[in-house]
Amino acid sequence: SQEALLLCLDVGTGMKDSTNNQSTSLDLCIHVISTLVQRKIFSQSKDEVSLVLFGTNETSNPLNQEDEESYQNISIAFSLGCPNFELLHYLSNDLKPGVLETDFVDALTVSLDHLHKETRYKKISSCRIVLFTNFCHPTSDENLDGIIGGFNTDGMNVQLDVISSFTINKLLSNEDDNPSHSGDDQPGTSTHRRPDRGELPCGEKPKSANQQAGEGIITRMHRGGVQGDCYTLREAVKAVMGFEKCSVRSAKWKCNLTLGSHLSIPCCAYIKTKEAKLKQTWKKCHAKTHKKEDITSNIFYYIDDDEKTEVTKENLGKGYKYGKDIITFGTEDEKQMKFAACDKCLSILGFTDMRNVHVIHHMDDQAHVVIPEAGDEHAGTALSALCTAMVKQNLCAVACHVYRKGSNPKLVALLPKVKLGSHYLVMVSLPFAEDVRPLSFESLFSGKNKQPSEEQLQLAEDLISSMDFTQSEDGIFKAKEKMNPTFQRTFQCLDHRLKHPDSKLPDLNQLINDSVSISHPTSVETLLDKINEKFPVILNKKPQTSHEAWINNKSDVADPDKEEKPGVSVSAHIRNEQTTSIGTVTTDQDFVEILQNGSLPSNEAFDQMEQRIKEFVSDSFVEVLKYKILKCLVTFMEQTNKMNATDRSKRFMNKIKQIVLATNPTLWNFLKENGIQDDSDSSDDEMMTSDRVIGDEADALLDMME
């Protein structure tokens, strides 16, 4: 629905009175109007706004152009259209008070004429005029019946809301000096409770004769059939505190929910919840011109080397990281890796217990509601039966969701909901297996000395209970009634920057501060003191880094007289968890660390290392892994020599040689060029060398005997 909102503001001399010795009525009205316009802009509303001023020094309206003697000192400052920052700038800097007085009835006539002309060919669902005045000027009720008829003409009912500096009593008390307007059968459009006639609200002054006359005209208009309400400036300021949320209309997504090859239920999905995000165009602009178009971005690509060689975009390639290595792939590889396009679908793959789908598995920033297609009774019956069966067995469905043809498929969970006689499914995204990173942590209660006492457990339970700030059973957090503090602060800064471009940003608004601050009861403070007493915090010594540990070890070696203290070693501080398996990323380091720590038997460590090297040699990307293979073989041979297991090294090298020569002879040439010897050749050389050594020793022995 689109609304036409016309703001009719009195800027005459009577609006210069001060209501609280600080701000005049005109200042408060401008503040309310500015806030209303801001709410329309920041909520991305499609409503249209117009501004009409009366009491101005100049005259600018179509009715005065037809008759220059009437409707003077009334100006249409902003024609009906989408609210923008120009209107806000005008209200803040260019709007000047007048020195004349103008009848608000004439201003309403000009406003009605402008509304009817501007909305005649537009799809406007409702029209509303908001009158800001304190009725300090003379007024006339001439042709009042014709004006009342103008609020209900051409099939359009225009609502009239009045905001003044005092409380209008007659509208709601149903009392008037004219007996013809008394009685209970007169229409009243407001339900707000006002003080009785003759009773002045706290802080209000007695009304003048002009104010009483204006109050009577407004009363007659509302009783004559004009819809609307009346508010004081104080009420209006409170009502517009904060900015509205963005009004978003959810579009439906139509698809058939399929189960197997024979069951297909026509359904449609609507967005249930979605993370609200700021408008992207507000995030950046040029500091001097304040235009986004003046910001240009140029992207350059460089090789990460000493020369920083520039590379054009055409020469770039794609790749995936495999451990510490980057595996490149071309266009053909990308086509093969790409998922085959299929039409949009919502297909159930299977069912699982609700306990298997935790809240932590919910992904994306939105959830959808899946309901049967409107008007399809068979679809409604089928979906209702499916939801009922799932609820009875405590099951949820796991389905494949493709938004449109060519989109990547998503794994979703369909959670059944039966509420107030309606049956529907809530669709949330789930992660794939490779997206889950399982993390295992050591138990906090691994030792008897770490077990909490009953008193400590009770204190923790009491603290959790005290942090529940709900006042009643239904006093849960209602997100619809809360304002996003991030949005509120952003809008506040945008408004301030518009009005004061060269000044610093203001402090946090008190309304925003109150929304994010929680007043802790005194009982919570007492519990926190007890917890600090029962759970003492002991400052542990900061663990040494590897560099510090190396320096300390070096100093210990340099000082042999220093007595070694018993306790936990430095290496235990540096690494709390020992490596028990050889991975694919730092294979050689894992192998050496296992042998040094003794976390596995040496034979098992050698078996794991041999298996890893065989996997690397047989890998389809062996050309990329050749340096890793070389490093692993060198480390393997070094460790076998240290542990006097050269026979095992020779046997393994023979196996590797056979595998490599059968699959990739160039790899063996690469290994030989980088120091990996052929075991068969090296064994022959060793035999020849040993024969020469024995012969030389025999000749020396014969010489000694002679």
CA distance 233 to 204: 12
Locus of tokens 């499609």 = 46
What tokens appear for 461 in the block?
A: 């339970």
CA distance 295 to 289: 10
CA distance 501 to 286: 13
Bridge partners for 302 per DSSP: 310
Q: What is the mean pLDDT of each run of 10 residues along the chain (706 residues)?
A: 89 75 81 87 85 91 86 91 88 85 89 89 88 86 84 82 75 40 36 42 66 85 86 80 65 90 92 79 69 85 84 85 80 77 88 93 92 91 94 95 88 92 92 84 68 87 78 62 79 81 83 71 78 82 62 51 44 51 84 82 86 85 83 87 84 86 85 72 44 47 48
pLDDT of residue 562: 45
Q: Which CATH architecture has domain 452-467+480-534?
A: Orthogonal Bundle (1.10)
Same fold, 3-239 and 452-467+480-534: no
Decide: residue 257, CB within 10 A, 0-12 exposed, 13-18 middle, 19+ buried: buried
Give the dihedral of Cα atoms 37, 38, 43, 46; nearest 10 deg.
30
What tokens appear for 96 in the block?
A: 């000047």
Q: What CATH class has 3-239?
A: alpha beta
Q: Which CATH architecture has domain 249-277+289-437?
A: Beta Barrel (2.40)
Bridge partners for 416 per DSSP: 425
> Percent helix, strand, coil in the chain (nearest 5)?
40, 20, 40
Decide: residue 134, CB within 10 A, 0-12 exposed, 13-18 middle, 19+ buried: buried
Contacts of 170 (CB under 8 A, 6+ apart): 176, 197, 215, 216, 219
**Per-residue CA distances from 14 to 129, 142, 546 (Å):** 21, 22, 79
Contacts of 467 (CB under 8 A, 6+ apart): 524
Q: Are 145 and 176 in contact (CB under 8 A)?
A: no
Question: Which residue type occupies 51?
Answer: L
Q: Are 208 and 225 in contact (CB under 8 A)?
A: no
Would you put residue 71 in left (φ > 0), alpha (ψ -120 to 50) or beta?
left
Nearest residue to 105 via CA among 66, 52, 68, 142: 142
Q: How many CB atoms lie within 10 A of CB 372?
A: 21
**Per-residue CA distances from 705 to 691, 697, 700 (Å):** 22, 13, 9
Would you put residue 404 in left (φ > 0), alpha (ψ -120 to 50) or beta?
beta
φ, ψ (nearest 5 deg) of residue 587: -60, -50
User: Which helix (H) or strand (E) segment is 460 a member of?
Assistant: helix 454-466
List the chain domain ranges: 3-239, 249-277+289-437, 452-467+480-534, 579-675
Give the dihedral of Cα atoms 589, 592, 597, 603; nearest 10 deg.
130
- CA 6 to chain centroid, in Å, comes to 35
Q: Are 292 and 285 in contact (CB under 8 A)?
A: yes
Q: Are 104 and 131 in contact (CB under 8 A)?
A: yes
CA distance 515 to 493: 17
Would you put residue 466 in left (φ > 0), alpha (ψ -120 to 50) or beta?
alpha
pLDDT of residue 194: 41
Decide: residue 555, CB within 10 A, 0-12 exposed, 13-18 middle, 19+ buried: exposed
CA distance 318 to 131: 64
pLDDT of residue 281: 57
What tokens appear for 100 in the block?
A: 């004349």
What tokens appear for 686 in the block?
A: 């060793």
Question: Which residue type occupies 444?
Answer: L
Pairing of strands 345-353, 395-402: antiparallel
Contacts of 672 (CB under 8 A, 6+ apart): 678
Decide: residue 460, CB within 10 A, 0-12 exposed, 13-18 middle, 19+ buried: middle
φ, ψ (nearest 5 deg) of residue 201: -65, 160
